[in-house]
Amino acid sequence: MASIPRQAYALNTYGRHPARQSRRHLGQGLDTVTNQTAGENPLKVFGAMLAYYRNRVGMTPEQLGARVYLSGSQIRKVEAG
């Protein structure tokens, strides 16, 4: 069996594997959320991050709550800090 030349592997324009490239953008936009809450209560920071990622995947508080066995109102309270 012939080996595949390294250049034949799928790389994006930045020379990274596509799976690694997709992880690179996860923190973009989150900086805005954390900068707004910098120096605040850690619970508010966590709530802002939870709301950011929940919205990013397009879930409602009720949908997230169903996955973690909480109500939608409890998720909203955590997001509020």
- The predicted structure's pLDDT at residue 12: 46
CA 55 to chain centre: 9
pLDDT in tens, 37-54: 556 789 999 999 999 999
Question: How many distinct structural domains can be found in the chain?
Answer: 1
Position 70 in a domain? yes
- The predicted structure's pLDDT at residue 33: 61
Position 52 in a domain? yes
Do the beta carbons of residue 61 and residue 79 sit within 8 Å?
Answer: yes
Position 56 in a domain? yes
- The predicted structure's pLDDT at residue 40: 77
pLDDT block averages, 10 residues each, the chain of length 81: 50 51 56 62 94 96 96 96 84
